[in-house]
Structure 1
Amino acid sequence: MIDNKAKYTQFIKSEAKRLGFLSCGISKAGFLEQEAPRLEKWLNQNYNGQMSYMENHFDKRLDPTLLVDDAKSVVSLLLNYYPSEKQNSDSYKISKYAYGQDYHFVIKDKLKELLFSIESTIGNVTGRAFVDSAPVLDRAWAAKSGLGWIGKNSNLITQKVGSFYFIAELIIDLDLEYDTAVTDHCGSCTACLDACPTDAIVAPYVVDGSKCISYYTIELKENIPLDMKGKFEDWAFGCDICQDVCPWNRFSKSHNEPLFNPNPEFLSLSKKDWDEITEETFKVVFKNSPIKRTKFSGIKRNIAFLK
């Protein structure tokens, strides 16, 4: 059985690589003891703002065996999205993860293929795929699986890669060899805390989600509070500031996923183009983009707030 564990683990990791994932780490499925009090405290301080869905399924967030019967392993995967292209310098800023097609669909397809490969090769394996759309603490599992450490900006950071990647999981009922966590390499650096224009990083490793530019421009459905006026530094959808200033991201390399390549029309948009964009054009240019999450009205609200 020990040989099988090693063989299965190696197979899953090689398949993940074949499918284009940056890296793959595996942890034993079980209750996240250290995360439980942290999550409870974070929610009690209302750092989730209007993201009330984060209060749901508290137990399931902390224990994957409640999501998949007889779960044995959490397979964590990273997929690079760092773009080689840049937006027009005279444009409202869009978070890099939204340059291409919606990652939920891109990654879900890869995860389905990975699960199919596992079932075809190993046999009767039951599992579920997760891409930040279910109650799974993906950063905690990725850190536990040795894929990086959770930095002071609360993002997962990897030494040779940085942090511009998506995190996804397969939770399966198969015993595997488990990886170990890596050490924290933030050291005395406070670049992310110093750079955040809305002071959302309230302390090292603690982010008040309700103060984050990403929250205001994507999650918040009502008007943006006026006391935030002038603090967004031209970010119209999401925000990369705390990642852009992170020294580890000087190691970021461009992704090689064609579906994450941006629409050239999007890259060339100037502020004037954004100001004049019609709903029809918006729907065409951002057909399969995560930007559609804000809807046309949300983007127009954000741009109006930036003026």
Structure 2
Amino acid sequence: MINSKIRYSEFIKSEAKRLGFLSCGISKAGFLEAEAPRLENWLKKQMNGQMSYMENNFDKRLDPTLLVEDAKSVVSLLLNYYPSEFQNQDSYKISKYAYGQDYHYVIKEKLKELLFSIQSNIGDVSGRAFVDSAPVLDKAWAAKSGLGWIGKNSNLITQKVGSFYFIAELIIDLDLDYDHATTDHCGSCTACLDACPTQAIVAPYVVDGSKCISYFTIELKDNIPTEMKGKFNDWAFGCDVCQDVCPWNRFSQPHNEPLLNANSELLSMSKKDWLEITEETFKKVFKDSPLKRSKFDGIKRNVNFLK
């Protein structure tokens, strides 16, 4: 039995690598004891802003066995999205993760193939794939399975890799060989806290989501508060500042997933192009992009706020 657990785990990791994932870690499904008080406190302080969905399914968010019947293992996967090309200097900025096609679809296909491969080679295994789409604490599970540590900017960080990657999970009803958490390597560094344009990192390891540029430009449906004027550093969709300044990201290497390659029209856009963009052009350029989440009106609101 022990040997089969090791064999199955090695197979899953080799398949994850074949499918283009950066790394794969496995942990035992169960209640996230350390996360419970943290999440409760974060919600109590209303650091989720208008993201009311964060308050839903509190128990399921902390325990995947309530989410997936007979869950035994959480398989955490990282997919690199660091680009090889960057936006025009004279442009309103969007987060690097949004340069290519919407990651939800890209990763979901890979997860479906991984689950199919597990079922074909191991047998009757049931489970569900998750890509930032259900009450799963991605970063906590990835850290638990040794893929990195949660840094002072609340992102998962990995030595020799950095943090420019997506996190996804397969939660399955198969006992496996489990990995162990790694250690924290932030040390005395406060680069992310010092650089955050809106002081959203209110303390080491604590991000007030309701103060984050990503929140204002993507999640917030109302007008952006006037007191934020001049603080966005030209970010029109998301923000990468706390990752850009992180010393571990000097190790970032460009990804090799064609579907995440930067849209050439996006890269060449100037501030003038953003301000003059029509709905027709927006739909054409950002047809399969994460920017669709903010919709045309949201992007127009953001760039008008920046000018």
Displacement of 1:211 in angstroms is 0.2
* Aligned mates of 2:15, 2:264 — CA distance in 1: 32
* Aligned mates of 2:267, 2:199 — CA distance in 1: 29
Residue of structure 2 in register with 1:197 after alignment: 197
* Aligned mates of 1:254, 1:292 — CA distance in 2: 24
* DSSP-derived class of the 1:214 partner: helix
Residue of structure 2 in register with 1:123 after alignment: 123
Residue of structure 2 in register with 1:244 after alignment: 244
Q: Name structure 2 gaps, 5 residues minimum.
A: none
Displacement of 1:263 in angstroms is 1.4
* Aligned mates of 1:83, 1:75 — CA distance in 2: 25
* Aligned mates of 1:76, 1:265 — CA distance in 2: 33
Displacement of 1:70 in angstroms is 1.1
Residue of structure 1 in register with 2:141 after alignment: 141
- The structure 1 segments of at least 4 consecutive aligned residues displaced by more than 2 Å after TM superposition are none
* DSSP-derived class of the 2:161 partner: coil
Superimposed CA distance per residue, residues 152-204 of structure 1 (whole angstroms, 9 cap, x where no aligned partner):
00000000100000000000000000000000000000000000010000000
1:293 equivalent to 2:293? Answer yes
Aligned residue identity for 1:4: S
* Aligned mates of 2:265, 2:219 — CA distance in 1: 25
Aligned residue identity for 2:8: Y
Residue of structure 1 in register with 2:154 after alignment: 154
Residue of structure 2 in register with 1:63 after alignment: 63
Residue of structure 2 in register with 1:215 after alignment: 215
| 1:227-306 matched pairs, under 5 angstroms | 227-306=227-306
* Aligned mates of 2:242, 2:266 — CA distance in 1: 23
Superimposed CA distance per residue, residues 62-87 of structure 1 (whole angstroms, 9 cap, x where no aligned partner):
00000111111000000000001010
Aligned residue identity for 2:152: K
Residue of structure 2 in register with 1:182 after alignment: 182
* DSSP-derived class of the 1:128 partner: strand
Displacement of 1:218 in angstroms is 0.2
Displacement of 1:289 in angstroms is 0.1
Residue of structure 2 in register with 1:90 after alignment: 90
* Aligned mates of 2:55, 2:113 — CA distance in 1: 31
Residue of structure 2 in register with 1:27 after alignment: 27
* Aligned mates of 2:2, 2:215 — CA distance in 1: 46
Residue of structure 2 in register with 1:50 after alignment: 50
Aligned residue identity for 1:81: Y
Q: Name structure 1 gaps, 5 residues minimum.
A: none
Displacement of 1:143 in angstroms is 0.1
* Aligned mates of 1:262, 1:289 — CA distance in 2: 10
1:101 equivalent to 2:106? Answer no
* DSSP-derived class of the 1:186 partner: coil
* DSSP-derived class of the 2:294 partner: helix
* DSSP-derived class of the 1:112 partner: helix
Displacement of 1:3 in angstroms is 1.1
Displacement of 1:275 in angstroms is 1.0
* Aligned mates of 2:147, 2:262 — CA distance in 1: 27
The RMSD of aligned alpha carbons is 0.4
Residue of structure 1 in register with 2:79 after alignment: 79
Provide TM-score, normalisation by structure 2: 1.00
Displacement of 1:262 in angstroms is 1.4
Superimposed CA distance per residue, residues 103-158 of structure 1 (whole angstroms, 9 cap, x where no aligned partner):
00000000000000000111000100000100000000000000000000000000
* Aligned mates of 1:192, 1:10 — CA distance in 2: 36
* Aligned mates of 1:12, 1:37 — CA distance in 2: 32
Aligned residue identity for 1:245: V
Aligned residue identity for 1:296: F
* DSSP-derived class of the 1:168 partner: strand
Superimposed CA distance per residue, residues 18-64 of structure 1 (whole angstroms, 9 cap, x where no aligned partner):
00000000000000000000000000000000000000000000000
Paired residues in the alignment total: 307
Aligned residue identity for 2:137: L
